[in-house]
Chains A and B, each alone.
Chain A
């Protein structure tokens, strides 16, 4: 009897467990969530914090499945992807310019302003119309003026911006569109919808740190959304959708840090962490301690036993890890406030292998010259660089003056693609593949002439100037350590953004500064002045002439005095002419 009952109970338990397991596995097949914050103290005393939130959704849009149940993946973006047959979408909003010389390379680079590039599926017939609709819908989702993206600032690069997700081999650049709005402002109204895309919102987990008053009081702030298909497993026979939301911010030592070399989560974000997002399967904080092996440069508290190494941006870096899914991280006070206290301010300067500058020379409002400088700081290796330049139509480039000079000699590009502009229709597009010699500066110069716009085409504040979007430099930079060529789910997010095909180099993208160019601006009060002057001249000139011609004059005697009037009356009675 007891044995029977035991067996009965065991069966019941097994059934119960299997039911639980089945439901759990059903839950996990719908997607999983990974949150991460990387904090890298910079040599100049500033601090760089990079948030990445990744949602993976195991559904295969490429096979045309219809989806109606959204759990972790935000519905607004899911509907956008399916309606516009998007294969990849990358959008970023940045305030400030990334200073590569002082801060090194960012994990996810972005140009100032707004940048949007999209790969459409092969099934799209009219890419331009779909692109226009997509920009309008995204402008509503992110509260940004992306509807200003039209044919005058949309590009179709022929070799840059290859898809970052998986594909089946062919990449037809007809389905790629790229646009940038350098004038776009980023403020809380862009952060609010960005935060709403996260599954926990800004209520739990790492996203509670995202307070706009601190984030925008920084030297650099960039938030981006990247959607791409990734491999579901090692065999890579099916794809799943990956949504990455990244937020990079660099806090300045003097404005946010009160000039004290001591940083903490509370000082940076005015919040501390109390729990991880319950929907996240992994939620970690990484502090870059590569330059601090024996704690001689800075001290990290609370101490953590977890250390991890990762190969990122061509270098092997060591990180102290705080796992927010473990209760022990929060300690007895139930809150985590990381503190980094600097002890000494010595250290090596960062020497980034690749960085770029761009500026305009010339005087006056007619002509000018654009100079793009690319620095290769590697002592003995040269590497290829793909430069993408887009200039608006109102700066007319003289391509015959294009010169590429490295180390005093001409450097002929191995590939050039130039698409001339059409007034009011499309911008200039120049793509060049250059080989940068080791330890050198390569200068690309091209002269231009400024066009006169129609007076309705000027912005309400034309004396501010007109922006020219950043140049994009994509390159394969040689790395000092072997890079990982297989992207796995266990890799930390910051090292798995750009896929690597070979171990000896990593892919990096550098953006130059946007240019601010003054166009010859008319005096907008002139129509009013002209109307006033003309009317005055016409009134005075014609009016006087008309009066002279048509007015008749009569002599009129002034009114005589009383005595004279009486005398006139008497004289009239006498019949004598009056006085």
Chain B
């Protein structure tokens, strides 16, 4: 799906002159990634943390708008705000007051919701160690040419992030998870954005290459929320993500805006806290990294003028005629409440289990007493 999207978008770039094509193709191939993934996590529960869900959904909305399909987004929301009984407008989550922008939308797909958003599940998604029956929509199937965007929001402190009011993830755990991802070649480049209080502490411990991190506040500072809506009764967004959303609304799939502009989002005058960033682990110069490298799904297009022959024409398999015509039994609908049958139902066949400890002990005791009383020599008289 995203291939056709990006094909449509990049059809405009294919010019006539072959040298021009090669030049722009060269520019095009500079980033080294072939697919984009996003893991967006909201870790807070309860109605008064509405703003964290709104934060995550606004990033989800931007990322979807710029081209990443739902199959490549793992969205984790720890609580349901849209259909919460306290929401005066159900099935909506607003980011601007006066209900201007509904970030919940009409075709949202939440992969992990409610109690499923735990530290364990988050780390399992990142490292790929999920039970075999996990469906595809809940997996991060990235490879070594994937650019991954990871966005976390919630309540945090110096060195930890709180999940659902009952557990925490520490910055050391997160750094180790990213190292596991690097060793398993699960990412090409990673952009980590965190919007919590003292968010910069979460990226202090990273040590794997190719990670760029942004946080909404430094250690010792609190990230503040933006504006309450009097009709809904809670704060709608956090400041950093509010201005990030405004910044992303101006980006379209063929923008050339780079990361340096992203670092300037929400200066201290607007955000009250000081956003921080970390680029020392990143190999490329942030100025050459496009926003759409992480937020959009810009794919490579290989232009070829050769003709490819498909091997065999696809043949439609005719439905084989049902064999065993004589075996036709007449089907019928089953009686929904067969009273007489139920009353005379035989007891359910129980599976035989070997006798457990108590029964064995009881029988051993009985046998012991028996032999003690009667003695072995009388055995032949009894049997």
Contact = CB atoms under 8 A, between A and B. Distances in A.
B115 A459 contact: yes
A73 to B, nearest CB: 14
Contact of A143 (B137, B334, B336): B137
Given A217-B89, A237-B330, A498-B336, A460 B109 contact: no
A192 B116 contact: no
B112 to A, nearest CB: 8
B330 A213 contact: no
B91 A159 contact: no
Interface string B198-225: 0000000000000000000000000000
Interface stretch (B229-237, B304-312, B316-324): B316-324
Interface residues of A, number: 70
Contact of A217 (B91, B135, B330, B333): B91
Contact of B80 (A185, A212, A235, A384): A185
Contact-residue bracket for chain B:
35 or more
B45 interface: yes
A475 B339 CA distance: 10
Contacts, number: 161
A166 B337 contact: no
B32 interface: no
Interface string A475-486: 110000000000
B135 A476 contact: no
Nearest to A228: B333
A154 interface: no
A216 B89 CA distance: 9
A136 B317 contact: no
A68 interface: yes
A167 B331 contact: yes
Contacts of B361: none
Nearest to A132: B133
A324 interface: no
B320 A460 contact: no
Contact of B114 (A145, A188, A238, A433): A145
A166 B329 CA distance: 12
B283 interface: no
Interface stretch (B100-108, B185-193, B240-248, B254-262): B100-108
A193 interface: yes
Contact of A162 (B109, B336, B345): B336
Contacts of A211: 106
A192 B320 CA distance: 36
Interface string A525-559: 00000000000000000000000000000000000
A175 to B, nearest CB: 13
Contact of A65 (B45, B107, B319, B343): B319
A187 B83 contact: yes
Interface string A153-173: 000001100111111110101
Contacts of B105: 188
A167 B334 CA distance: 7
Contacts of A216: 82-83, 90-91
Contact of B337 (A147, A164, A193, A475): A475
A95 B115 contact: no
A165 B333 CA distance: 6
A68 B319 CA distance: 10
Interface of B is mostly: loop
Interface string A411-427: 00011010000000000
Interface string B106-122: 11111101111000000
Interface in A456-502: 459-461, 474-476, 487, 498-499, 501
B200 to A, nearest CB: 26
Contact of B345 (A158, A231, A384): A158
A189 B110 contact: yes
A236 interface: yes
Contacts of B331: 166-168, 229, 231, 236-237, 239
A289 interface: no
Given A136-B135, A192-B107, A501 B333 contact: yes
A215 B329 CA distance: 44
Contacts of A269: none
A154 to B, nearest CB: 15
Contact of A140 (B135, B317, B332): B135
Contacts of A436: none
B339 A186 contact: no
Nearest to B117: A460
30 contacts: A59-B319, A65-B320, A69-B317, A132-B133, A136-B134, A137-B133, A140-B134, A140-B136, A143-B109, A145-B115, A145-B116, A147-B116, A163-B334, A164-B336, A165-B334, A168-B329, A169-B332, A188-B107, A212-B106, A213-B89, A213-B91, A216-B82, A217-B91, A231-B331, A236-B332, A386-B342, A414-B343, A460-B164, A476-B337, A501-B335
Interface of B: 45-46, 80, 82-83, 89-92, 104-111, 113-116, 131, 133-138, 164-166, 316-317, 319-320, 322, 328-339, 342-343, 345, 348
Given A143-B110, A147-B116, A212-B91, 5 more contacts: A189-B113, A192-B109, A236-B331, A415-B342, A501-B335
The 3 closest A-B pairs by CB, nearest first: A140-B135, A499-B333, A187-B83
